[in-house]
Amino acid sequence: MARYVRFLLAGMPSALLALPLNMALVELAHWPKSYAYGAVLVFQVSLNYFFCRRFVFLRLPGSSEALAFSGFSLVVGFFRLLDWAAYAFCVSRLDLWYGWMQILNMAVFSVAKYLSCKFIFQLSSEKS
């Protein structure tokens, strides 16, 4: 449980930046909501890797950083794709406010992302 809490805390910097960034892209830059959210998700995946590696899933001596990063990007990218699809559907078809959908998706996908990241970082330590 403590590691999951650290995982959530490690995601806070990107989460706190994500909503204002998404709003700026939509409201100020006039990007389509789904494009803006996609760009924000790419930003979040990149930032979250470094925070997870530094504070949650510490690198063991001899572990493969390349395997950890590529596995993280692929697995978390898959969940972010699901996140984006749910967001795009709910915002465009159900006319839900994009800010609430972004916050809801952060909560909904957090457990799946945590379990996947835990597996990937353990795998990268074993494959060295």
Query: What is the predicted pLDDT for the residue at 70?
Result: 86
Task: Give the side-chain half-sphere CA count within 13 A for 114.
Answer: 18
pLDDT tier at 37, thresholds 50, 70, 90 = very high
- For the cut 80, the answer to whether the pLDDT of residue 11 exceeds it is yes
Nearest Cα to Cα of residue 37 among 50, 21, 48, 16? 21
| pLDDT, mean over the chain | 89
Q: Phi first, then psi: give them for residue 85, nearest 5 degrees.
A: -65, -45
- Rounded to two decimals, the pTM is 0.80
- For the cut 90, the answer to whether the pLDDT of residue 71 exceeds it is no
Query: What is the predicted pLDDT for the residue at 35?
Result: 96
Mean pLDDT, range 10-35, rounded to an integer: 95
CA dist list (Å): 117 to 21, 24, 30, 35, 96: 25, 29, 34, 25, 30
Query: What is the predicted pLDDT for the residue at 127?
Result: 56
Nearest Cα to Cα of residue 44 among 5, 79, 74, 17? 17
Query: What is the predicted pLDDT for the residue at 86?
Result: 95
Distance of CA 37 to the CA centre of its chain: 12
Contact residues for 117 (Cβ-Cβ < 8 A; gap 6+): 7, 52, 56, 57, 72, 75, 76
């001596």: which residue's tokens? Answer: 61
- For the cut 80, the answer to whether the pLDDT of residue 47 exceeds it is yes
